[in-house]
Chains A and B, each alone.
Chain A
Amino acid sequence: EIVLTQSPATLSLSPGERATLSCRASQSVTSYLAWYQQKPGQAPRLLIYAASNRATGIPARFSGSGSGTDFTLTISSLEPEDFAVYYCQQRSNWPLTFGGGTKVEIK
């Protein structure tokens, strides 16, 4: 099973600041990685697929990078609606696995 480790667990930032979230895989997933956003009481929403492609309707302030075992989600300038939990997920191998999540909270 591929283990995805996200860091940090919590990121405390102010609106307008840049957020950098990390996801590290226990073995290579090439580019088979996605990022999801989840707000309290809501279902996850796909943000980034195949490591660096924005999903439909996702603002340009969200970007993804990386390949192999190290991936990054960057939010260039945090908007109030961006404070949420973010998960990475790989589909390189069965079983599908998710990272433990990074909570982006208001400082």
Chain B
Amino acid sequence: EVQLVEAGGGLVQPGGSLRLSCAASGFTFSSCVMTWVRQAPGKGLEWVSTISAGGGSTYYADSVKGRFTVSRDNSKNTLHLQMNSLRAEDTAVYYCAKRSGVHGYMDVWGKGTTVTVSS
């Protein structure tokens, strides 16, 4: 079964850091572009970051550029999102998603992990 499982969310103070992980199984992780998408409480979906299959290319939303870093460990089938200088507006459910190699859209999503930035 193709599966993505996020972990690492929690409560953090403004200015703090958190590292999210996404464990992949059931597909060839090293061949897939991976993406992080977030959803603030009661709001819509917001793209956060994308990383190429090999990890050599990364893309960020302006709202997180310079603060968040996406990475992957293809030997461990794991995707990461290092989040620094967190702000209240980063409070959201963070989803990892796999991009289909056939059509290029996000065809498998994890259940999400919740990040709350508050003092």
A97: Cβ under 8 A from any B Cβ: yes
Chain A residue at minimum C-beta to C-beta distance from B60 = A95
Stretch at the interface among A17-25, A40-48, A65-73, A75-83: A40-48
**What residues on B are CB-neighbors of A96 within 8 Å?**
35, 47, 50
Counting contact residues on chain A (CB < 8 A from B), the size range is 20 to 34
Instruction: Give Cα distance in the complex from A96 to B104, angstroms.
Output: 12
Question: Do B109 and A45 have beta carbons less than 8 Å apart?
Answer: yes
Q: Tell me the number of A-to-B contacts counted with CB atoms below 8 Å.
A: 56
Instruction: Give Cα distance in the complex from A56 to B59, angstroms.
Output: 27
Question: Do A43 and B112 have beta carbons less than 8 Å apart?
Answer: yes
Q: Which residues of A contact B (CB under 8 A)?
A: 34, 36, 38, 42-46, 49-50, 53, 55-56, 87, 89, 91, 94-101
**Between-chain CB contacts (< 8 Å), 29 pairs:** A34-B105, A34-B106, A42-B111, A43-B95, A43-B109, A43-B110, A44-B37, A44-B109, A46-B106, A49-B100, A49-B104, A49-B105, A49-B107, A50-B103, A53-B103, A55-B105, A55-B107, A87-B45, A89-B45, A89-B105, A91-B105, A94-B59, A95-B59, A95-B62, A96-B50, A98-B45, A98-B47, A100-B44, A101-B45
